[in-house]
Each structure stands twice: as structure tokens, then as C-alpha cells.
Amino acid sequence: MVDCTIRDGGLMNNWHFSDDFVKSVYKACVEAGIDYMEIGYKSSDKIFSRQENGPWKFCDEKDVRRIVGENKTGTKISVMVDIGRIELDTIPPKPKSVIDMIRVATYVHQMDKAIYMAEQCMEKGYETTINLMAVSKVNERDLDEALHDVAKSKVPVFYVVDSFGSMYCEEIELITKKYMELLKGKTIGIHAHNNMQLAFSNTITAIIHGCNMMDATLLGLGRGAGNCPIELLIAFLKNPKYRLLPLFQAIQDNILPMQKEIDWGYHIPYLVTGAMNEHPKEAMQWMDSDRKNDFVGFLMHMHDTFSLLE
């Protein structure tokens, strides 16, 4: 179980979470027995502004330690890096960091760089994964070539990522089976978005077909339509190592009040982008406008915009 509340949720407020909020999520993860908490991104401040983005876009060691201390718990700390948005030499060796796992997010044309980054992080002592984004847009030949390269790499974990919340259970089943077949000996993970109310069911489908790392967030807090809710997943798994009560406490005390500040979750503009297999950025901009509830207008906007691009 990987909790991505702060990392993915930060896409909705530029990672301007208070320390108390981040600590509450960390405390909930520890007490609930969650295996990993992804506390944010590691990013270059040469690319991203520290005025515009909060500390969890950068995850400096001092900031992470301010939340988790030495983290002598059963919950490991994870961060995500984007190819081209972080310098490898800014990532310290694992003995100097409280971070346990670095997840490398990549597009298919960057796979060689992703493998290099992940293997270099392994050399530094970290656990690593590669998360291939926007797989619903990748043609089969490019995907097969990328998987062939990953299969030869040392990277132990590879993720099915439904970035646009556009995939149905049949597609999740097919791609999970492909990953399992071509990446023998590696662990497969699942990261789903909820544009069409399928993040939970798609995660279950992935579990049934062999995925053993599952991403989820408290109350589904995440980019746009959000992610698979971690409390739903824990209730489904019925694994005695996990506890629901701490998650409910964090949701009640901290996540619900945040809904007054951040508008995430299923909404028709996100359904439209998901059904069209498009990035939700258009829907996110629409949701921030005074036309938020003009569903017909958004559908026509998307039709006009993307028919021009075809």
C-alpha cells in the first residue's frame, strides 16, 4: 500500500500543505500500517519556483525530517521524480536521507533516461520504481520496446498508470497481464485516477491479475478527479495488518475540512476528459472558472478544441 495523498493531492494546491496537515497524514499512515507514504516530489528549484510551490514539491531533507524525524516506523517514505525535472547529483546517498524509495515518473519516449535514473538511485541505496505515465496514449510497438528495455534493467517495480482516468477494467486486465508476461520477476504496481468513477474497481482488477503495489489517497485526494480512496481499498482487502480507524480520523479531522479549499473528486468535466482519453488540464481550468457547472459548454469546448487538433 502506497499512500500518495500529499504528492498527488499537491497537484491541486501547488503543495502548499501545512506541516500539521502533512504530519496528520503521516501519523495516519503509521498507525494504519500503510507500507509507504509518498510525501511529495523531488524537483529542481532551477525549474520550479519555491514561491509558487510549497516544500513538498522539493522534499528537501530538512523538510522531510521535520515531519517524520528519523522515521523509525513500519511506514517507509517515498518521493517521486520526473525525468528532466531533477538533477541526479541533488539526490543524496541513502545513508544521508530518511527517504526510502524514489519513484521515477516517465513518458514512453524517455524510458532510457528513466532506467538510468532509477538504476543510479539504486546505486545510491534507494528502493526504486518506474511509473510509465499516460500509458493509454502509448501505441503497442512503443510499449513493447520500452518493456523490453525495462525487462533487462535492474529496476524491480514497474507501474500501470492510468494518468487520464480513461481505462476500463478490460484494458487494465490486458495491460497488467502484458506487464506480468514481459517483466517476469518484477513487481507490478497500479496507480489509477477516478475520472470515470473506476479508480477503485480498476485497482481491484489489477490486484486480481497480479499487481502487488497499490497507490491510493485519503478520500481520493489527488489531481482533478482524484485517485483510488485508500480507505475503500483497506476495507476491501480485509488484511489484518491494516487499520481503518486512523484513516477515518485523519479524513474527519483534516481531509474533509480541506474540501472547502480544494475542489477535487468526480465531476462531469473530468468525466469528459477521461472518456476522451485526454489530459485533465482542460477540465481543471474549467473547474477553476465561473463556468464550472456548465457541462454542455465544456463538452462543446472539448469537442471543438480536440477536433481541430485531429
Map out the domains of the chain as residue ranges: 2-258, 268-309
Question: Looking at domain 2-258, which of 3.40.50.1370, 1.10.3720.10, 3.30.200.20, 3.20.20.70 is its CATH number?
Answer: 3.20.20.70
Instruction: Name the pLDDT band for 232 (thresholds 50, 70, 90).
Output: very high
pLDDT at 277: 96
Averaged pLDDT for residues 165-189: 98
CB distance 85 to 40 below 8 Å: no
CB distance 285 to 298 below 8 Å: no
Tell me, rounded to whole angstroms, the distance of Cα 305 from its chain centroid: 27
Among positive and negative, which fits the CA dihedral 198, 37, 42, 123? negative
DSSP string, 3-42: E-HHHHHGGGTTT---HHHHHHHHHHHHHHT-SEEEEEE-
pLDDT at 309: 52
3-state secondary structure of 91: coil
C-alpha distances in angstroms, 198 versus 109, 173, 208, 220? 27, 13, 15, 12
Q: pTM for this structure?
A: 0.96
Calpha distance 200→135 (Å, rounded): 18
pLDDT digits (tens, 9 = 90+) for 242-288: 999 999 999 999 999 999 989 999 999 999 999 999 999 999 999 99
pLDDT digits (tens, 9 = 90+) for 95-141: 999 999 999 999 999 999 999 999 999 999 999 999 999 999 999 99
CB count within 10 Å of CB 137 equals 15
- State which amino acid sits at residue 182: L
pLDDT at 305: 82
Calpha distance 252→244 (Å, rounded): 12
Instruction: Name the pLDDT band for 306 (thresholds 50, 70, 90).
Output: confident
Calpha distance 233→199 (Å, rounded): 10
pLDDT digits (tens, 9 = 90+) for 180-223: 999 999 999 999 999 999 999 999 999 999 999 999 999 999 99
**Per-residue pLDDT for 308 more than 70?**
no
